[in-house]
Structure 1
Amino acid sequence: STIDNLVVVGDNEFLLDTSIMDDSVLIQTFGSSVITIDYDIHDLVSKQGRLWTFSLDSPSNFTLLLPKNSAIVGMINLPINMEIINDQNKLTLSPGKTEIDYLFSNSISNSLPDTKLETNYFPYAIIVGVLLIILIGSVIIIRNKRKNHKSIEYNEATKKNTIDLETIFKLKPDLREDDKELVKFIFNNEGEALESELRKKFLQPRTTMWRAVKRLEREGVIEIEKKDLQNLVKLRKSMGEEE
């Protein structure tokens, strides 16, 4: 199994140094009495067509949090408990072999047949046409107002020699949506931001944000520097710096 995004946290959410050696990990605890280990593993989920399958043979009870907008369509090993938290299914499962098949809700809705009703749309078409004319006029005015603002932002980015967002996303098309939001925020913040600022902006705990930052560092999008004992996250000036 391949393990990614390993994060180990000690007392007071202090990030601990780790070294992975084959199937073991060496952790410098620095006197922490309790440590939390968080990591990603990719061998538990498979996909066939639109159907996703989670499978695990666990020696003990465990808790599973499914992705948002997912719907369970099949299951081996019924859960001990099941609840909804922030639109996500949270299941508590017993030891043994577990398989859970699920689809994302947009896939389910796309597979449903359309039901059409006979309706006189002419009055609505007139109303929609008028609204579109008003909307188009408003968009033209707003775009004209934003042209100068965009040119100023472009000049600021050019001065800092920071690669533009469109180029970043073109070079890195597989970035996650939440990672793209991080990149946008850093770009609009003159190309750099403290990790603490990112946690405050996106309301993420330290471990979750650190994993996201390290993921972007591995992708060659950002670099991490120390500034006053804090992590300063900076966009790379060139994607050519990737190893």
Structure 2
Amino acid sequence: MKLQQIVAQKHQSLEKEILFVRSADILSAMVRLPIVVMGLVLVALCAPIQQSLASSRTLDFTIYSDGSTHIFYELEANPLEPEFTVELFGQVIENVTIIDEEGFLLSYEINANVALIETFGASHITIDYDTQDLVSKTGKIWKFSVDAPIQYSLLIPKDSVIVEMSNFPISMQVDNDQSYLILPGGLTNISYYFSTLASTKPVQAIPEEDTTDNSLAMYAVVIAAAAGIAALVAIKKASHQK
């Protein structure tokens, strides 16, 4: 009888321990579940941000003397996505060429300044185009304005002089009377004008020897012509006397 009571007590204590362990596991799981969910949400929110920040590779601006600007834009694309959307610089987009990493032309549609590109599995997209919207002119002063998402390069027209910049360039050099700048991302305004002194070329003097040689040649032609006329006159007089 006592043996049965001891066995029953042990069985009851074992059940209590099992219930306690199960309750503790359930509470622990309930505590961990919100943390896991929050972590997944943060990862889902951060993934598009990281993708957008890593999508841009190269951005170059080249300003021409008439105020038009050529843009060279390289971007990374997800080859698993059938379409790729990118915001262009300027409202009026001209002379557009879009190719993939193999150099094949890609189909696209442009609405205002947003381009919708059919990737066809491309992972690297290059966009070339022109616009008149990034440079304005007031009197003799030209002004370039752009809000770039990444660091970019800028080539100023030949014989231009920069008079104002809203941002300090990362680097700047002058080659063949053209300023080449590397600028950080963000809004930048650069004002410049064209120097007439820089574009004026000195007139080369004609060497005196060449002038002398040309004069002697002209004198020889005149003398020869005069001699020919005199000979004709003499022949006509002789024929009349006969």
Q: Same fold (TM over 0.5)?
A: no
What's the TM-score, normalizing by structure 1? 0.42
What's the TM-score, normalizing by structure 2? 0.42
| Largest Rg, 1 or 2 | 2
